[in-house]
């Protein structure tokens, strides 16, 4: 969690031996275009000695949970879209990524990760609600881990 903004953020500085800033830019572009829902734009800015590239994207997210209702065990699969922002700061031989601004978009509306799990604005009701919350949290963790892993693989791939 970012202590200043109190928002969930995944961030790391990653070395990429021998990669030029221009090569890293091409790798970012290739990674962004391979996302499940490629963003409409990729914003590039100059920050001190970094080339910063930022994009907002989304991916489908489904999660399954079980609960008991009137003595009968039930299983439910919910679907949503996970929206997020990725910012990459590129320098010769390294990059830093920040993945943040996580929002779940479901048929009933959009809710930030923080409102779901940290602020108490959304509260589970009953066994089904608690099971749903836990399944959504696990699906989020898996999706975020996969997103970061795919980013690292793409950024280490020469020849884009």
> pLDDT by residue (tens digit) across 61-109?
999 999 988 899 999 999 999 999 999 999 999 999 999 999 999 888 9
Residue 32, strand partner residues: none
Residue 118 has pLDDT above 70, yes or no: yes
pTM, to two decimals: 0.87
Non-local (6+) Cβ contacts of 119 within 8 A are: none
Q: Given this model, what pLDDT does residue 153 score?
A: 94
Q: Given this model, what pLDDT does residue 40 score?
A: 79
Averaged pLDDT of the chain:
89
Q: Distance between CA atoms of 10 and 146, rounded to whole angstroms?
A: 12
* Percentage above 70 pLDDT, the chain: 98
Residue 47 has pLDDT above 70, yes or no: yes
- Cα angle 110-33-80, degrees, rounded to a multiple of 5: 20
Q: Which helix (H) or strand (E) holds 42?
A: none
* Cα–Cα nearest to 59, from 128, 145, 123: 145
Domains and CATH numbers, the chain: 10-155 (3.30.530)
* Percentage above 90 pLDDT, the chain: 62
């Amino acid at each position: 969690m970012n202590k200043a903004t109190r928002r969930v953020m995944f961030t790391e500085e990653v070395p990429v031996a021998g990669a030029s800033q221009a090569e890293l830019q091409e790798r970012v572009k290739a990674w962004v275009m391979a996302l499940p829902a490629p963003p409409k734009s990729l914003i590039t800015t100059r920050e001190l000695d970094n080339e910063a590239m930022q994009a907002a994207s989304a991916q489908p997210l489904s999660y399954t949970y079980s609960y008991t209702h009137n003595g009968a065990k039930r299983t439910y699969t919910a679907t949503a879209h996970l929206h997020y922002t990725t910012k990459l700061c590129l320098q010769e031989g390294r990059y830093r990524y920040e993945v943040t601004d996580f929002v779940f978009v479901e048929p009933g509306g959009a809710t930030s990760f923080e409102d779901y799990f940290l602020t108490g604005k959304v509260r589970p009701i009953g066994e089904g609600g608690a099971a749903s919350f836990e399944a959504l949290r696990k699906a989020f963790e898996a999706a975020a881990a996969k997103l970061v892993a795919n980013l690292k693989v793409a950024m280490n791939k020469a020849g884009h």
